[in-house]
Protein backbone atom coordinates (compact mmCIF):
# COMPACT_ATOMS: atom_id res chain seq x y z
CA UNK A 1 0.00 0.00 0.00
CA UNK A 2 2.42 2.62 -1.14
CA UNK A 3 1.82 5.74 -3.10
CA UNK A 4 3.94 6.71 -6.06
CA UNK A 5 3.87 10.17 -7.53
CA UNK A 6 4.47 10.54 -11.22
CA UNK A 7 5.10 13.74 -13.10
CA UNK A 8 3.41 13.88 -16.50
CA UNK A 9 4.43 16.59 -18.91
CA UNK A 10 2.14 17.94 -21.60
CA UNK A 11 3.75 18.80 -24.84
CA UNK A 12 0.82 20.76 -26.29
CA UNK A 13 0.32 24.45 -26.93
CA UNK A 14 0.97 26.94 -24.20
CA UNK A 15 1.23 24.25 -21.55
CA UNK A 16 4.46 22.87 -23.01
CA UNK A 17 7.03 22.44 -20.27
CA UNK A 18 4.51 22.63 -17.40
CA UNK A 19 4.06 19.61 -15.17
CA UNK A 20 1.10 18.07 -13.44
CA UNK A 21 1.25 15.78 -10.42
CA UNK A 22 -0.84 12.64 -10.24
CA UNK A 23 -1.04 9.97 -7.56
CA UNK A 24 -1.37 6.31 -8.43
CA UNK A 25 -2.17 3.56 -5.96
CA UNK A 26 -0.38 0.27 -5.98
CA UNK A 27 -1.24 -2.61 -3.79
CA UNK A 28 -3.75 -5.46 -4.04
CA UNK A 29 -5.16 -4.16 -7.23
CA UNK A 30 -8.70 -4.34 -5.93
CA UNK A 31 -9.22 -0.62 -6.22
CA UNK A 32 -11.10 -0.61 -2.94
CA UNK A 33 -11.53 2.51 -0.81
CA UNK A 34 -9.50 0.86 1.94
CA UNK A 35 -6.28 1.63 0.07
CA UNK A 36 -7.17 5.31 -0.19
CA UNK A 37 -8.01 5.61 3.49
CA UNK A 38 -4.82 3.81 4.43
CA UNK A 39 -2.86 6.04 2.12
CA UNK A 40 -4.50 9.11 3.63
CA UNK A 41 -3.72 7.83 7.11
CA UNK A 42 -0.09 7.14 6.19
CA UNK A 43 0.21 10.58 4.62
CA UNK A 44 -1.48 12.15 7.65
CA UNK A 45 0.88 10.35 10.04
CA UNK A 46 3.84 11.23 7.85
CA UNK A 47 2.83 14.89 7.76
CA UNK A 48 2.29 14.85 11.52
CA UNK A 49 5.70 13.23 12.08
CA UNK A 50 7.32 15.69 9.69
CA UNK A 51 5.58 18.55 11.50
CA UNK A 52 6.80 17.20 14.82
CA UNK A 53 10.33 16.81 13.45
CA UNK A 54 10.17 20.35 12.08
CA UNK A 55 8.91 21.64 15.44
CA UNK A 56 11.66 19.78 17.31
CA UNK A 57 14.23 21.03 14.82
CA UNK A 58 12.93 24.57 15.23
CA UNK A 59 12.95 24.26 19.00
CA UNK A 60 16.44 22.81 18.85
CA UNK A 61 17.57 25.66 16.62
CA UNK A 62 16.08 28.18 19.07
CA UNK A 63 17.74 26.40 21.99
CA UNK A 64 21.08 26.25 20.19
CA UNK A 65 20.76 29.92 19.26
CA UNK A 66 19.98 30.75 22.89
CA UNK A 67 22.98 28.70 24.07
CA UNK A 68 25.16 30.40 21.46
CA UNK A 69 23.98 33.82 22.65
CA UNK A 70 24.61 32.79 26.27
CA UNK A 71 28.10 31.56 25.36
CA UNK A 72 28.81 34.75 23.41
CA UNK A 73 27.64 36.83 26.39
CA UNK A 74 29.82 34.76 28.76
CA UNK A 75 32.87 35.25 26.50
CA UNK A 76 32.18 38.98 26.22
CA UNK A 77 31.78 39.29 30.01
CA UNK A 78 35.01 37.33 30.55
CA UNK A 79 36.83 39.58 28.06
CA UNK A 80 35.44 42.72 29.71
CA UNK A 81 36.55 41.47 33.13
CA UNK A 82 40.04 40.70 31.81
CA UNK A 83 40.27 44.11 30.12
CA UNK A 84 39.20 45.82 33.38
CA UNK A 85 41.80 43.79 35.33
CA UNK A 86 44.55 44.76 32.87
CA UNK A 87 43.48 48.43 32.91
CA UNK A 88 43.44 48.46 36.73
CA UNK A 89 46.88 46.84 36.81
CA UNK A 90 48.19 49.36 34.27
CA UNK A 91 46.75 52.22 36.33
CA UNK A 92 48.38 50.84 39.48
CA UNK A 93 51.68 50.39 37.61
CA UNK A 94 51.55 53.97 36.33
CA UNK A 95 50.80 55.27 39.85
CA UNK A 96 53.68 53.21 41.28
CA UNK A 97 56.02 54.42 38.53
CA UNK A 98 54.99 58.05 39.12
CA UNK A 99 55.65 57.62 42.84
CA UNK A 100 59.07 56.15 42.04
CA UNK A 101 59.82 59.00 39.61
CA UNK A 102 58.80 61.55 42.28
CA UNK A 103 61.02 59.81 44.85
CA UNK A 104 64.00 59.84 42.45
CA UNK A 105 63.38 63.51 41.57
CA UNK A 106 63.17 64.44 45.26
CA UNK A 107 66.38 62.52 45.96
CA UNK A 108 68.11 64.25 43.03
CA UNK A 109 66.85 67.65 44.19
CA UNK A 110 68.16 66.97 47.71
CA UNK A 111 71.51 65.82 46.29
CA UNK A 112 71.75 68.95 44.12
CA UNK A 113 70.91 71.12 47.14
CA UNK A 114 73.57 69.32 49.21
CA UNK A 115 76.22 69.75 46.51
CA UNK A 116 75.23 73.41 46.01
CA UNK A 117 75.49 73.95 49.78
CA UNK A 118 78.93 72.34 49.86
CA UNK A 119 80.00 74.44 46.88
CA UNK A 120 78.81 77.66 48.56
CA UNK A 121 80.55 76.70 51.80
CA UNK A 122 83.71 75.92 49.88
CA UNK A 123 83.48 79.26 48.05
CA UNK A 124 83.00 81.04 51.37
CA UNK A 125 86.02 79.27 52.84
CA UNK A 126 88.09 80.15 49.77
CA UNK A 127 86.98 83.81 49.98
CA UNK A 128 87.81 83.90 53.69
CA UNK A 129 91.21 82.35 52.97
CA UNK A 130 91.86 84.83 50.16
CA UNK A 131 90.87 87.68 52.47
CA UNK A 132 93.15 86.32 55.20
CA UNK A 133 96.07 86.11 52.70
CA UNK A 134 95.36 89.65 51.57
CA UNK A 135 95.31 90.77 55.18
CA UNK A 136 98.57 88.91 55.87
CA UNK A 137 100.12 90.52 52.81
CA UNK A 138 99.10 94.00 54.00
CA UNK A 139 100.41 93.28 57.48
CA UNK A 140 103.81 92.33 56.12
CA UNK A 141 103.95 95.85 54.74
CA UNK A 142 103.22 97.38 58.15
CA UNK A 143 104.92 97.47 61.52
CA UNK A 144 102.13 95.32 63.15
CA UNK A 145 103.20 92.19 61.26
CA UNK A 146 105.37 90.61 63.95
CA UNK A 147 102.73 90.73 66.76
CA UNK A 148 100.15 89.32 64.29
CA UNK A 149 102.45 86.43 63.37
CA UNK A 150 103.04 85.74 67.06
CA UNK A 151 99.24 85.60 67.67
CA UNK A 152 98.78 83.18 64.79
CA UNK A 153 101.46 80.86 66.18
CA UNK A 154 99.94 81.02 69.60
CA UNK A 155 96.49 80.03 68.19
CA UNK A 156 98.02 77.11 66.32
CA UNK A 157 99.72 75.85 69.46
CA UNK A 158 96.43 76.13 71.41
CA UNK A 159 94.68 74.05 68.73
CA UNK A 160 97.32 71.42 68.94
CA UNK A 161 98.99 71.81 65.58
CA UNK A 162 101.65 73.76 63.80
CA UNK A 163 99.90 73.69 60.42
CA UNK A 164 99.34 76.43 57.95
CA UNK A 165 96.46 78.82 57.43
CA UNK A 166 93.85 76.01 56.90
CA UNK A 167 93.95 74.99 60.57
Extended strands (E) in the chain: 2-9, 19-26
More confident residue, 78 or 153: 78
Does 77 score more than 60 pLDDT? yes
| Cβ within 8 Å of residue 156, ≥6 positions away | 162, 163, 167
- Any alpha helices (H) in 12-32, and if so which ranges? none
How does pLDDT run across 15-71, given as a tens digit for each residue?
Answer: 444 444 444 545 555 555 456 888 888 888 888 888 888 888 888 888 888 888 888
Question: Distance between CA atoms of 39 and 23, rounded to whole angstroms?
Answer: 11
How does pLDDT run across 96-140, given as a tens digit for each residue?
Answer: 999 999 999 999 999 999 999 999 999 999 999 999 888 877 767
- Give how far Cα 87 sits from Cα of 51, 92, 99, 132, Å: 53, 9, 18, 66
Amino acid sequence: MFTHKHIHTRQQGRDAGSASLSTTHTGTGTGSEGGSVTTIQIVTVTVAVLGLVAAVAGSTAVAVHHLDQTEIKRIQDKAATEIKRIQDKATADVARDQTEIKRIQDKATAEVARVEGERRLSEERLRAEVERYKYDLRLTQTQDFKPYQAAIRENQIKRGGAGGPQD
